[in-house]
Amino acid sequence: MQLGIFNFNMKKLFLFLPLILLGFLTSCSKEVKIDIPGYVEQLVVDGSIQTDQPPIILLSNTQDIYAPTNFTAYLNSFVTGAIITISDGTNTVILDEICTDNLPPGTESFAAAVFGIPVDQLVNLHLCAYTTFNTAMWGQIGKTYTLTISNEGKTYTSTTTIPQPTALNSMVWHPAGGFLDYGYLTGQLSDPVNEVDSYKWEIKRISDPMYSKPFNPFFNDQFFNGLTFNFETQNPIEDMSTPPQYKGYFRLGDTLILKMSKLGRKEYSFFDKKFNQIYSAGSPFATPLNIPTNITGGAMGVWVGYSPWYDTIICE
Amino acid sequence: MRIYLLLLIFLAISMVGWSQKSTLSGYITDASNGEAVMGAKIVIPSLNMGALTNTYGFYSLTIPSGKYLVEFSSTLFPKEFREIDLSENLSFNFELGIKSQDFQEITISAKQGENVNSTKMGQIELDIEKIKTLPAFMGEVDVIKAIQLLPGVSSVSEGGQGFYVRGGGPDQNLVLLDEGVVYNAAHLFGFFSVFNSDAVKSVNLIKGGMPANFGGRMSSVLEVHMNEGNNKKFHVTGGIGIISSRLTIEGPLVKNKGSFIISARRTYIDLIMKAAIPDSSPFAGSSYYFYDVNAKFNYKIGDKDRIFLSGYYGKDVFSFKDKKGGFGVNMPWGNGIAALRWNHLFSNKLFMNVTSTFSDYMFKFGSQQDQFRFELASGIRDVGGKVDFSYFPNTRHRMKWGADYIYHTFTPSSVSAQSDSVVFNTGSAQKLYSHESAIYALDDFDLNEKLRLNIGFRYSMYQHVGPFTRYIKGDISKPDTSINYSKGDVLKFYHGLEPRLSLRWLLDENSSIKAGYSYNYQYVHLTSLSAVSLPTDIWFPSTDKVKPQQGWQGSIGYFRNFKDNKYEFSVEAYYKGMKNLIEYKEGALPGDNVNDNTDNLLVFGKGWAYGIEFFLKKSVGKFTGWIGYTWAKTERKFPDLNNGNIYPAKYDRRHDLSIVGTYKLNERWTFSSAFIYATGNTLTLPTSWYIQDQNLLYNYGARNSTRMAPYHRLDISATLYDKPTKKVTDKATGKEIQVKKNFRSNWSFSVYNVYNRSNPFFLYVDSNGNFSSGDFKITVKQVSLFPIIPSATWNFQF
């Protein structure tokens, strides 16, 4: 089995048939302008905390479906000036607002990855995230973190817990059939019994600044709870220098860092439904799906705690 | 108890004046092929009394003894008269002789006054011969598309087979093929009907005032009867069209005693695709086809007994291959239906029909990506039986009673998955078993010259039985638990009384007022994820958790015939209340049975619908046709959907108009056209978007709050018949004479969507580009299915 498949989740295969049909059908589509009533602006929270890392929170507002979609509109959708606190039950910290036009040295590439904007453009923009340099509020396994956001007179709250990590039994490189220099990874996972386990999967070459992830990096143990099984995985790293025939394979001689994070069941539900929506959005064959949130107070989005487990693999 | 009392009262009423009367009874058949003629009219003009034949061509008429001139006729046959001496009970079978070439001229003469006189409300019979002259999509004559042209009936979507009757769901229509239940009446994702027009004898739609002999569905009954087969001579009918061909063979098993008919059809879209997709293409091997076979046998054992065996088997197979992506899908689905019936005449007044039925619907979806295989199957299997008695004590009463029973086996979804040799735990296939039964009695009787009543009661019962495993889902903090039930355990027993009433008050010879009330229980449900009808829609039974749907309908109408019955007009208003309707939870995706039941994904609510229907029909003359207009509204309220607020049903349409016209220019040319206009369907679209982790996500607005553009379309057709006769030289006289041709053929030309309107099939929100490059754009797009499509079919018979 390939990891890409169980990311794909068997349920979504059920949606695949309609998508094939959709492919045939959308060939005869045209743009229309019809009335879509009911837009209300809502706050969107995109927050995470992981072991040994500071919390990072981005705030934005939802946009009307017919609102302008140019770059300025995107920049204007971010929310600044909110008051955000995080509590671990003992300590409470007010987060700092860090903006891209005033980034602490060494954080540029990280910020570029968070916003998806190249560094040279980013430093000329005013986009802000909320975080803290107080290491007392950096993520610790087993702790529960409460997020409180005050914005324009409204208060939003959420909690998340960093679960225990799970390690892979093994992860090794094999040459792919027909290639000498490129191959795939095979791994073995023993899923813990008697609990619902949710995972996030990322990988990078040791020299890469940031991790790469498959289109949907999330999966859970619905179909393999308590099982030990082998799987194959493809390379999600986008590299223009890789010849097209080797796309999806790992190069001989590379050193890879694998990051497999665990997350809570409720938080997983956000990502599961999010990718369900991405797979089926617009399809008439699926019910319209609003993504659930673990934020109270009328906001959208997620506040998630991750506990990563790392492995170094030398492709040899 | 009340039912027995009422039966006794009816019997007592019917006893009055029994003396000095005799009964004329028998079967009416078509002289050319021996087929029973249903709805044939037997009239005693001197008494102004008459009777109609039932589905099996049987009639019974009890009148004062004496000599009478009796008139026999039907929609396809002109009046014929016979002098009959009815000094005692008489069994009189009659063959209606000369089939008129110009059936349209006489269609209504036989049915004269039916529109005004009968207690039938919201009931329409369509003549298959007439349906064959209507414009046909891709040349495929389609009974379901024809009924979608009637007021109160709307199609699910462009070209779709699903239909909604008076604001009810597509699962609320009881579709019967020779009394066997059809669960999926569609081929090709709904674009074609499973009913092969060559095998169909008649189509009857009941959309309101459902008589007590029907039940199990809330909105309507669509009865399709198959031809019996010519019991006099062998006969072949067929047609060659642009996407499919069909062939029917019929003939006597034993002359005048028994006959058979076998009708088959197959599409050749797969062959066209094979030619269109080269072997080198990664999609080579992708194909689609369907076929179906109808067969029927009947045999007269004696004067009093007759047996019929009807069967249908049809299958659709869709396969998609993408060799490049290592991906393949194979998806077969289909119905198998069989019905064995036995007619028995206990006396010239008491007719019995015993039916045993089998119905099977299955849907499979298999996919493979590299070493990973995934299969999903869903299905329903019914085994049932019923017995119906028709009793004709005198001309004032037409009584029926009976009982039916079905054993259902549902497999809502069975999933299996494996990667190489590792088989994943997807749970065992869950099957649900249930018993459904009912008893009923009804009497259609004339209280006086003006008032006719049809009173009926139906008592239905339903048991959900084991084996079954009920999974109880805990919330996030609690573990899931389950309860195991063994074979025969009764999980739940539902039952209820379904009263039915319709009445007709004759205002004068040409007009009447009718009213109806019906209450229905429905124990099976169709759960649909999609905005359009698909084979992936899953039939689901009532369980300990899913209550039966219940609904009532009240309707009142004014019926009038004009110009010597050439025109029929009616206006009917209705209100319908429904409860225990089901929908999937927001965001639900069925697919696996791992410690879960499908009904844990369902939510329950209620609905209502009301509307007014206008219908004007001209059935006589060179120009025939109808205009139907409906104003309607249908809404739903589910506590767990749309924040508990009322929302319009997805098929809520304010206006529905259809205009259908047929013009018979001469013996050889007939022209038809159909125009429809309908308010656009509702749907749910995103009202806003947001970005999370660089992914674009949508936030959907109120359920069904967006409405698509109106739907309208014009179709036209022309049929060119060959000359019915040919010249031959009479050997005796040496003169040229005209004789009837044995081989007959016609060309049928159709144009679908004449003015090439891009009607909305669905809308979706599309996004392209990205923010950083400044070309990001969100647009609402409309998908349209069928542009203008001309087609031609060549039909033949010999």
pLDDT tens for B268-296 read 877 777 777 777 777 777 778 889 999 99
Q: pLDDT at residue B534 above 70?
A: no
**Going by C-beta distance under 8 Å and a sequence separation of 6 or more, which residues neighbour residue A233?**
A2, A3, A4, A184, A185, A186, A187, A201, A203
Contact A285 B536 (CB under 8 A): yes
- Cβ neighbors of B112 (< 8 A, separation 6 or more) are B565
DSSP 3-state of B268: coil
* pLDDT over 70, % of chain B: 87
Total residue length of chain A: 316
Interface confidence (ipTM) of the complex? 0.88
Q: Is residue A229 less than 8 Å (CB to CB) from chain B?
A: yes
Could you tell me the pLDDT band of residue B605, with boundaries at 50, 70 and 90?
Answer: very high
| Cα-Cα end-to-end distance for chain A | 22
Inspect the interface and report whether the beta carbons of B780 and A11 lie closer than 8 Å: no
Element (H, E) at B414: strand B397-419
| Distance of alpha carbon B167 from alpha carbon B152, whole angstroms | 8
Comparing CA positions, the residue from B527, B553, B528, B531 lying closest to residue B541 is: B527
Q: CA B426 to CA A315: how far, in whole Å?
A: 34
* Contact yes or no for B61/B49 (Cβ under 8 A): yes
Residues of chain B positioned with their CB less than 8 A from the CB of A283: 530, 764
Backbone angles phi, psi at A122, to 5 degrees: -60, -40
Residues of chain A neighbouring B761 (CB-CB closer than 8 A): 25, 284
What pLDDT is attached to residue B620? 81
Are residues A71 and B774, on separate chains, in Cβ contact within 8 Å?
A: yes
Give per-residue pLDDT as tens, A257-275.
999 999 998 899 899 889 8
Between B375 and B632, whose confidence is greater? B632
Residues written for chain B: 798
3-state secondary structure of A137: helix
Residue B459 corresponds to which amino acid?
Answer: Y
Contacts of residue B144, defined as CB under 8 A and 6 or more positions apart, other chains included, come to B161, B163, B185, B186, B193, B195, B222
Of B384, B386, B382, B383, which Cα lies nearest the Cα of B404? B386
pLDDT at B199 over 60: yes
SS3 state of residue B769: coil
- Sort A229 into a burial class: Cβ within 10 Å, 0-12 / 13-18 / 19+: middle
Is the distance from CB of A10 to CB of B415 less than 8 angstroms?
yes
- Whole-angstrom CA distances from B170 to B154, B184, B396 are 10, 10, 37
Q: Could you tell me which of A262, A302, A46, A263 has the C-alpha nearest to residue A158? A: A302
Domains in chain B, please, with CATH?
Answer: 2-112 (2.60.40.10), 123-221 (2.170.130), 222-716+791-797 (2.40.170.20)
Which residues on chain A are in Cβ contact (under 8 Å) with B700?
288-290
Check residues B349 and B191 and name the one with the higher pLDDT: B349
DSSP code of residue A192: P
Residue B282 main-chain phi, psi, to 5 deg: -65, -20
Contacts of B319 in chain A (CB under 8 A): none
* Residue A193 touches partner B, C-beta closer than 8 Å: no
CB contact under 8 A, A290 and B700: yes
pLDDT in tens, B295-314: 999 998 988 899 999 999 99
Q: Looking at the partner chain, which of B529, B701, B777 has a beta carbon nearest the beta carbon of A36?
A: B701
Q: Which token pair is B172? A: 């609320």
pLDDT tens, position by position, for chain A (316 residues)?
A: 333 333 334 444 444 444 455 455 545 678 888 888 889 999 999 999 999 999 999 999 999 988 887 778 778 888 989 999 999 999 999 999 988 888 888 778 777 777 777 778 777 888 888 999 889 999 999 999 999 999 999 999 999 999 999 999 999 998 887 778 888 888 898 888 877 889 999 999 998 888 888 888 898 887 777 888 888 888 888 877 888 788 888 988 899 999 999 999 889 989 988 988 887 765 656 667 788 899 999 999 999 999 999 999 998 8
**Gap between the Cα atoms of B41 and B129, Å rounded:** 19
Calculate the alpha carbon distances from B250 to B117, B196, B253, B263, B298 in Å: 37, 15, 9, 8, 11
pLDDT at position A167 is 92
Token readout for B78 is: 């002109």
- Reduced to 3 states (helix: H, G, I; strand: E, B; else coil), residue A72 is helix
Which residues are CB-contacts of B664 (< 8 A; sequence separation ≥ 6)?
B102, B104, B622, B623, B624, B670
Q: Is A24 within 8 Å of chain B by CB?
A: no
Pick left, alpha or beta for residue B621 (phi over 0 → left; psi -120 to 50 → alpha; otherwise beta). left
Nearest CA in chain B to A77: B690
